[in-house]
Structure 1
Amino acid sequence: MEWQEISGNWVYLPRQEIVGIIHFLGGAFVATAPQVSYRSILEQLGKAGYGIIATPFLNTLDHFAIARDVLNRFETVLERLQKNNKLGKSYLPIYGVGHSMGCKLHLMIGSIYDIERAGNILISFNNYPVNKAIPFMEQLNLAPMLEVEFTPSPLETTKLIAENYCIRRNLLLKFNQDNLDQTINLNSVLSDRFPDMITMKTMTGNHLTPLNQKVKWQSSSFFTPVDAIGQWFSQEMSRNLQSLQQELIIWLNPLSAF
């Protein structure tokens, strides 16, 4: 399996029978190359039988335009893959998976457009205003002077989701060391809309855990305390990433737990 760039998306198709399609959207500042930033977690989902379509994007203030663009590119590549018989079946369940800002985009897509999704997985959701989402804006206090804000604003986004979000089955994941996360607020909004269809879990890790790669610490000729720390850190990152991958796969296919 190799990554392919098709119609402005990065596509990863498993060699075995494809059981579903995942549309992946990453975080604001790492979404330009999801096939690199999120390689480990996406390839594990591919090996579990899911066709991965990761749509890169550049963050701007107009999140309406970004949501429309990433959906258009996803639907274009999906139609192309189906036309060329690359998916093996005429119908496959589609799941949205988002990290950080990618969650907001999936939520907006599911609130504005008439789409079919078997479910969404929303990891480390946040919905901050400009002055908190872009660090230097808060430090320099530029946002009030420039009078800039995302569209929709955080309040408008919450209202849009509360009134229009149409994807019933959702997995919300947060990490115990993530001070950027607003998943608890999202859980309240979605649980009011779809009682008993929302699952929220807290996992070990931080906001960057989905970006971790499986790395093996190379010790020097003589084992030193630095090597011990390096091995421990590598093992902890790998363990958190593996737990996340397993959680996603089990939610997508509960029978895989048996």
Structure 2
Amino acid sequence: MNWRQRGSLWCLRPSRARGLVEFIGGSYLAATPQISYRRFLETLAAQDLIVHAWSYVPGFDHQAQANEAWRAFRQGREAVDQQPRILRLGHSLGCKLHLLAPDNGRNCSALAALSFNNFSAERSVPLLAELGPRLGVSSEFSPSPQETLELVGRTYQQERNLLVRFQRDGLDQSARLLQVLQGRQGDQSALLERPGDHLSPASAGLRQNLLGRWADDPARQREMEQLAGQICRWWLGPDQTRS
């Protein structure tokens, strides 16, 4: 399989497809998802899943970027011959953008959120937050962290959500999100804990791209394969993992 760019989407298309993954990465890793998340996304494609990964540079208006991502993914679906089951997949800030999608999660079958992060601008980008008022620009994300959780509790309609927390991830805020999701009627959200840290989904691809195949860590690759398998089993069913 080869990566192909379609506008702001980087796409992988296996020979046969049983699902479509719409992926948004975290922070500045997401500018080149075909590089930063290469190993993880190619592992998903090896499970016979089409992968559409949105490329973006984060800003302060997260709602506007969520809308932009949603439109890009909607256009991307038009290039798919069939209309397979859709999984929205996010890492860090990408989880928040999926949660803010203007369809409130209706046009997908599930969301998998890796290392959900909902920090304020002051914590995430302290220099910009300090300079923002002096430059006459917003110094807080829109919606703010608290507003994001309130919106999720009030308007987000997708019942099936898998939150993945890595054990050494000091940036993860999945527990608070899970509390909000489970406060909704009919919610089926679950939490999965895995070994690793906040960069676990991205670091293998970065290391291979920068240092070459000799720098691959077989144990980390196995972790990515196991994570992809768990997501597929949760999303598609217990017998839906390729060996």
Please classify the TM superposition score into its range, dividing by the shorter chain length: 0.7 to 0.9
Cα distance in 1, alignment partners of residues 59 and 145 from structure 2: 15
Deviation at 1:195, TM superposition (A): 4.9
Contact 2:27 2:57 in 1 (8 A): yes
Q: Does 1:7 align with 2:7?
A: yes
Where does the alignment leave 5 or more consecutive residues of structure 2 unmatched? none
In the TM superposition, 1:14-163 aligns within 5 A as 14-15=14-15, 17-79=16-78, 81-82=79-80, 87=81, 89=82, 91-109=83-101, 112-113=103-104, 115-136=106-127, 142=131, 148-163=139-154
In structure 1, C-alpha distance between the alignment counterparts of 2:189 and 2:226, rounded to whole Å:
20
Is contact 1:22-1:97 (8 Å) kept? yes
**Structure 2 partner of 1:202:** 193
8 Å CA contact 1:249, 1:256 repeated in 2: yes
Letter in 2 for 1:26: G
Deviation at 1:135, TM superposition (A): 5.0
1:249 aligns with 232
| Distance in 2 separating the partners of 1:178 and 1:114 | 26
Q: What secondary structure, in the 3-state scheme, does the structure 1 residue paired with 2:59 have?
A: coil
Cα deviation per residue 1:138-182 (whole Å; 9 max; x = unaligned)? 8xx556777610000011101100001011111100011000000
CA distance in structure 2 between the partners assigned to 1:173 and 1:194 by the alignment: 22
Offset at residue 26 of structure 1 (A): 0.2
- Report Cα offsets for 1:4-33 as digits up to 9, x if no partner: 111321110001x21111100000111111
Deviation track 1:21-76 (CA, whole Å, cap 9, x = no partner) reads 11000001111111111111111111111111111111111111101111111111
One-letter amino acid matched to 1:124: S
Question: Which segment is superposed worse, 57-66 or 209-218?
Answer: 209-218
Tell me: higher relative CO, structure 1 or 2? Use CA pairs within 8 A at least 6 residues apart: 2
3-state secondary structure, aligned to 2:100? helix
Note closer, same or farther for the CA distance 1:27–1:194 as it changes in structure 2 (3 Å cut): farther
User: Contact 1:7 / 1:77 at 8 angstroms: preserved in 2?
Assistant: no
Deviation string 1:109-145 (CA, Å, 9 cap, x unpaired) is 1x6557411100000001010011125458xx55677
Between the aligned residues of both structures, percent identity stands at: 31
**Runs of 4+ with >6 A deviation:** 143-147
Asked if the contact 1:213/1:238 (under 8 Å) is kept, the reply is yes
Aligned to 2:88, the other structure's residue is in SS state: strand
SS in 2 for 1:256: coil
Greater mean alpha carbon deviation, residues 189-198 or residues 163-172: 189-198
What is the CA–CA distance in structure 1 between the aligned matches of 2:84 and 2:196, rounded to whole Å? Answer: 32
Larger radius of gyration: 1
CA distance in 1, matches of 2:23, 2:219: 25
Q: CA deviation digits over 1:59-115, x for unaligned, max 9?
A: 111111101111111111211x14xxxx3x3x3111100000000001011x65574
TM-score (norm 1): 0.82
- Structure 1: unaligned runs, 5 residues or longer: 219-229
RMSD: 2.4
